[in-house]
Structure 1
Amino acid sequence: MTVALMWEARAAEGRGEELLTWARAQELPSRPVRRETFRAPQDRVLVITWWDAPYDAELPELPEPDGELVMRAVHRWRFDSVGKD
């Protein structure tokens, strides 16, 4: 089974590049099958990691950034793959 973990944060005003750099520098204790980092308007950063694991497996996730770097708590979601279209 493939599980995707999504991590999304919104940077504090004017700190989007800093948040992006911070997210890209975060090491996980084990390597996912795949990892991609995205950015969007309003200084949002999204990181998706793909894992070959059961849906309820304990998987490493990116931590919360320093509270001054973000506007709000990080949003996190977990999905299981239903195949490619």
Structure 2
Amino acid sequence: MTVALMWEARAVPGRASDLLAWTEERVREFTERPLRRETFRAPQDRVLVVTWWDAPYDADLPELPEPEADLIARPVHRWRFESLGGV
């Protein structure tokens, strides 16, 4: 089974590049490597990281933590999905 973990945060205005750098540092600290990882940015200084894992849905997988409060404008949003396949 493939599980996708989504992590989305909104940086303090003007600090999206700092948040992007922070996510890259944290991902390098993972003890396991995902099958795939993509990082996205969007208006309003939002950053999204999606990782794909070959694991059961409820597996204990590395996840990005909550950044320091002075870097984010609101709490992080997290979602976990089971892949149904692709095109």
Cα deviations by residue, 1:5-30 (Å, 9 ceiling, x for unpaired): 00000001111111011111212121
Of 51-60 and 20-29, the range deviating more from structure 2: 20-29
Counterpart-to-counterpart distance in 2, 1:16 and 1:74: 14
Match of 1:29 among 11, 31, 53: 31
Counterpart-to-counterpart distance in 2, 1:84 and 1:32: 17
TM-score, length basis structure 2: 0.93
| Structure 2 gap ranges (5+) | none
Aligned length: 85
Query: What SS is found at the alignment partner of 1:65?
Result: coil
Shift of 1:62: 0.5
Contact kept in structure 2, 1:32 and 1:49, CA below 8 Å: yes
Identity of aligned residues (%): 69
> Which residue type is aligned with residue 82 of structure 2?
D
1:81 maps to which residue?
A: 83
Counterpart-to-counterpart distance in 1, 2:16 and 2:54: 31
| Structure 1 gap ranges (5+) | none
TM-score, length basis structure 1: 0.96
